[in-house]
Structure 1
């Protein structure tokens, strides 16, 4: 039985359709359309994120290490003098620093949005919106961490371990070139390489599975919405249980201001 991306799309559509029917009978048409539009847009974003991760892990050719992509400056680099080469190195160093600052600003901006809109605007946002946005921010940082660890594990496997295996195989073919090494040393070294390779493969598998699980869980959570919500703490809601009407709390939420709750 084959399972592809079209099945995931159909699953999201089926869940959203059932949610539309649920809100239509329990609230009203405007509320059901409002919630379904939000869920559909969020599902599209999470599905695109899932496809992007699949391409990153399985389809795209990976540029391992610090090797720069081929550019016009790299082609004529061997004809430049040392002064021009130093300028090119400074250019790439500045570019790397700017990329790091851009990534840092994205993380700071995400935290600022969380503090200002989600924590500060608690009176105007329903609990299910605050919960889902908090979950999205948490999954964003977790997904970024898994991608960074994956790149490091990939580099360690196909650069460091590959070089060590080359030395071990070269010694077995030409032991005279390594007079300081003994057979016991190489045997222990080979067993350590096998163990490190096994642990590295397991780490890569866990990171890929965790990242794809994050994407799929975000997609399903966007489709199911309030059915996957649980309270953060007692102080957040004032009680250990969810409010009976999760869309219409007793504060000045957006849904009350728009008057789309079931009256």
Structure 2
């Protein structure tokens, strides 16, 4: 295992150019080379400067490049690049602290928990796509969501037309298209379809005898009843699949499902009940603004109606505030899940832990800190009129503010000693 870990570092050349290219930022040495080529200078291997090693300057270039990219607006690609970079860094740190196998397990647990948040974030961004286009900093997110929606519609239409590109995680589609491929024969010259299943072959014999009742029943069954039943079952499964997967993995397979995944998955299901209220409100507010207030304002022409303008501005403030808080909370939870950490939100966390219980503190696979589960905090919580809102970074507590920094320094010193050895 140790030799495999060393081989991993030999195969991946981690320098300044590698780190900057991960985030789509140009290395200054490459920029100088491009400028020299543009000016007509002759470059050979002796004139090209190799990329420098990772240093404090690399961190400065990384922060500067990310800030320049964020000025154009946040995109889904930026979020994905940041997440995978965090996963890679966390994998390296855990491999140095434990071993390669343990690091892979812990990183995979965080990846699965983060994927749950990421999929939900994409769904919410797609829901808010028409609103995000109006917000300057989030316009690119709205455009990405619209592209994803159009791409998914094209994929579904292609799959329905050709019956191809089906995947193993859609067993219903695999079975449906397998049956359709088996019972339908297409004439390549005329393009006409022929049903070659046993029932259709029998009906073709009956059709020649003139018995119209059986033939009409057959066509109703194949053209109306079966497609409607399939459509109903597919929609029902689309609504039920998430809850069914949650029940099978976190309830039936509780023994084999890590606590981090169960905690974040349950937390997501609970907040989804409240999210529907804000999503409905956002839809109504956006419709009222775009379909009623703005047309009325345009009907006045050059005359500015202060009351209408005030209503439009007020709705803009409410819409932007709700969208930023909602998406910000999801990104906040997403990064906590990727890091294998927990966070506290009153009412939601209590209900989450009523379902799955407290965190097992004797396992390295259970994730980070949950200081609100400590016995002292539970006693204080019962005596409080209002709940405590902040339990420190990554749920580490608020008693010793510099405890996390000191532990981080100790951990860095241990890594430096191991590298020296």
Normalization by structure 2: what TM-score?
A: 0.36
Contact 2:121 2:331 in 1 (8 A): yes
Q: Quickly say closer, same or farther: Cα 1:238–1:194, change in 2 above 3 A.
A: closer
- The answer on 1:35 being equivalent to 2:82 is no
The structure that has the greater radius of gyration is 2
1:15 and 1:224 in contact (8 A); partners too: yes
Q: Deviation at 1:163?
A: 3.7
CA distance in structure 2 between the aligned counterparts of 1:127 and 1:208, rounded to whole angstroms: 30
Task: Tell me the distance in 2 between the aligned counterparts of 1:14 and 1:133.
Answer: 23
Name the residue aligned to 1:228: 342
**Equivalent residue for 1:198?**
313
1:80 is matched with: none
Distance 1:193 1:137, change over 3 A: same
Inter-partner Cα distance in structure 2 for 1:208 and 1:108? 27
**8 Å contact from structure 1 (residues 139, 214) kept in 2:** no
Q: Which of the numbers 259, 264, 277 marks the counterpart of 1:127?
A: 259
Offset of residue 159 of structure 1: 0.9
The equivalent of 1:165 in structure 2 is: 297
Secondary structure of the residue that 1:124 maps to in structure 2?
coil
Q: 1:18 to 1:106 in 2, by over 3 A?
A: same
Instruction: Please state whether the residue corresponding to 2:365 is helix, strand or coil.
Output: coil
Query: Is 1:20–1:33's contact at 8 Å kept on the other side of the alignment?
Result: yes
- 2:339 match: secondary structure: helix
Inter-CA distance 200–229: structure 2 relative to 1 (3 Å threshold): closer
| Aligned 1:1-263 pairs, distance under 5 A | 1-2=67-68, 3=70, 4-5=74-75, 8-40=79-111, 43=114, 53=125, 56=129, 57-58=132-133, 59-60=142-143, 102=235, 106-138=238-270, 140=272, 146-166=278-298, 169=300, 190=305, 192-225=307-340, 227-228=341-342, 232=350, 243-247=361-365
Counterparts of 2:354 and 2:312, CA distance in 1: 47
Q: CA deviation at 1:202?
A: 1.6
Question: Deviation at 1:25?
Answer: 4.2
Aligned in 2, Cα 1:156/1:105: closer, same or farther, shift over 3 Å?
farther
Task: Assess, with a 3 A threshold, how the Cα gap between structure 1 residues 145 and 107 changes in structure 2: closer, same or farther.
Answer: farther
Alpha-carbon distance in structure 1 between the residues aligned to 2:120 and 2:366 = 31
Which is further off, 113-122 or 40-49? 40-49
1:246–1:46 distance in 2 versus 1, CA, 3 Å: same
Q: Distance in 2 between matches of 1:105 and 1:199?
A: 40
Deviation, structure 1 residue 19:
2.3
Q: Does the 8 Å CA contact 1:146/1:211 hold for their aligned counterparts?
A: no
Alignment partner of 2:363: what SS?
coil
Runs of 4+ in 1 over 6 A off after TM superposition: none
User: Residues of 1 paired with 2:283 and 2:79: CA distance?
Assistant: 27
In the alignment, structure 1 segments of 5+ residues that lack a partner are: 63-94, 174-186, 250-263
Root-mean-square deviation (CA), in Å? 4.4
**Quick check: 1:136–1:218 contact (8 Å CA) kept in 2?**
no
Could you say which residue in structure 1 is the equivalent of 2:379? none
Preserved CA contact (<8 Å) 2:113 2:261? no
Deviation of the 1:121 alpha carbon:
3.6
- Gap runs ≥5 in structure 2: 1-66, 134-141, 147-227, 368-421
- For residues 366 and 323 of structure 2, the distance between their equivalents in structure 1, rounded to whole angstroms, comes to 39
Given that 2:112 and 2:261 are in contact with CA atoms closer than 8 Å, whether structure 1 keeps it comes out as no
Higher relative contact order (CA 8 A, sep 6+): 1
Q: Distance in 1 between matches of 2:120 and 2:354?
A: 33
